[in-house]
């Protein structure tokens, strides 16, 4: 069955609206020997081969699944009641709103009026590591980016966009890279097995192990080796932040403008931290970034002080100054 023919049938059966948004991403087998019927509310059967793969949004679905099982259509069973578990979320939200406005009925008006967080948190996606709660900060105080194993990958557009927005536009003063013990991503990277698609991401953690192989291999206790890799991964991701152009430019600018602004240090400052889910404590790692950066400055530095002074002179002449 051709896709246009399929869509015309779906429109008549009442499912057209759902599938019009997906038709560019759906591949249906043309095999006529297998038939799967839509719900009774549909007047026409949908023919598709269960042995053929269905792609929705570019993601392959198990070949043995029919179109109906691959794409959940709730119209045939939705009875107006909220899905269990989701109803709790809305109820909790109502309680939270009431709690936040009990002492200040203008709380959300103030929250909506300004977005000036002082911190950028780069942490793991692990559900046990909520940034605001760990630091005791409220909404609007932390700009948050999370991914598996708190990685800062220079080819990842997501983290690069977050860094640029946080540093250049929000003017955050501190960037926190926070790992956590019992990190599934780091643990998986220590195992000698194919992890599938996620391997492309966790290969960065394996690289951290390679860089510190001598130290890590000397730790006989596997659990302690694992914890140390968590820490070393955080340090390496901090170094990756120092390598970025947006951070180097902002630090040079704030350093050279310190006499005018009264700042006591270049910003943003980068901090390496590790959270322990077993006791709830957030710890700062003892890292001398000044010393570490000095070892690699000739490799990663994009600007130098003389070049920046030249940029300042150009600014006075009307040349746009880098942000």
* Residue 148: CB atoms within 10 Å: 19
| Terminal Cα-to-Cα distance of the chain (whole angstroms) | 55
Nearest CA-CA partner of 172 in 283, 251, 264: 251
Is 126 known to be catalytic? yes
Kindly name the residue from 29, 49, 183, 238 that is annotated as catalytic: 183
Is 128 known to be catalytic? yes
Kindly name the residue from 29, 47, 49, 124 that is annotated as catalytic: 124
What is the rounded distance in angstroms from the CA atom of residue 124 to the CA atom of residue 203? 16
**What single string gives the DSSP state of each residue in 210-245?**
HHTHHHHHT--SHHHHHHHHHHHHHHHHHHHHHHSH
What is the rounded distance in angstroms from the CA atom of residue 259 to the CA atom of residue 46? 72
- List all residues 6 or more positions away from 21 whose beta carbon is below 8 Å from its beta carbon: none
Residue length of the chain: 323
Kindly name the residue from 49, 126, 227, 249 that is annotated as catalytic: 126
Kindly name the residue from 47, 180, 249, 253 that is annotated as catalytic: 180
Residue with tokens 């709690």: 99
Is 25 known to be catalytic? no
User: Under the phi-then-psi rule, with left for phi > 0, alpha for psi from -120 to 50, and beta for the rest, what region is 108?
Assistant: alpha
Is 180 known to be catalytic? yes
Is 34 known to be catalytic? no
Kindly name the residue from 44, 94, 128, 321 that is annotated as catalytic: 128
Residues known to be catalytic? 124, 126, 128, 180, 183
């Amino acid at each position: 069955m051709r896709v246009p023919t399929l869509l015309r049938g779906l429109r008549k059966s009442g499912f057209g609206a759902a599938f019009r948004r997906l038709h560019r991403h759906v591949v249906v087998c043309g095999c006529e020997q297998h038939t799967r019927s839509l719900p009774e509310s549909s007047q026409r059967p949908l023919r598709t081969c269960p042995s053929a793969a269905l792609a929705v949004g570019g993601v392959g679905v198990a070949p043995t699944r029919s179109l109906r099982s691959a794409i959940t259509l709730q119209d045939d069973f939705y009875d107006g009641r909220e899905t269990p578990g989701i109803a709790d979320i809305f109820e909790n939200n109502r309680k939270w709103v009431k709690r936040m406005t009990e002492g200040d009925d203008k709380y959300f008006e103030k929250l909506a009026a300004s977005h000036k967080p002082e911190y950028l948190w780069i942490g793991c996606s692990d559900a046990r590591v909520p940034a605001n709660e760990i630091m005791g900060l409220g909404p609007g105080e932390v700009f948050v980016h999370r991914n598996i194993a708190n990685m800062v990958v220079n080819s990842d557009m997501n983290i690069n966009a977050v860094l640029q927005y946080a540093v250049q536009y929000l003017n955050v003063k501190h960037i926190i890279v926070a790992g956590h013990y019992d990190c599934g991503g780091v643990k998986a990277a220590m195992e000698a097995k194919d992890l599938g698609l996620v391997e492309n991401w966790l290969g960065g953690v394996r690289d951290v192990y390679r860089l510190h192989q001598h130290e890590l291999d000397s730790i006989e206790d596997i659990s302690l080796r694992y914890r140390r890799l968590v820490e070393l991964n955080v340090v390496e991701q901090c170094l990756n932040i120092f390598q970025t152009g947006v951070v180097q430019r902002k630090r040079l600018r704030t350093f050279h403008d310190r006499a005018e602004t009264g700042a006591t240090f270049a910003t943003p400052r980068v901090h390496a931290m590790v959270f322990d889910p077993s006791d709830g404590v957030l710890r700062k790692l003892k890292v001398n970034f000044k010393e570490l950066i000095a070892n690699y400055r000739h490799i990663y530095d994009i600007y130098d002080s003389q070049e920046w002074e030249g940029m300042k002179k150009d600014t006075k002449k009307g040349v746009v100054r880098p942000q």
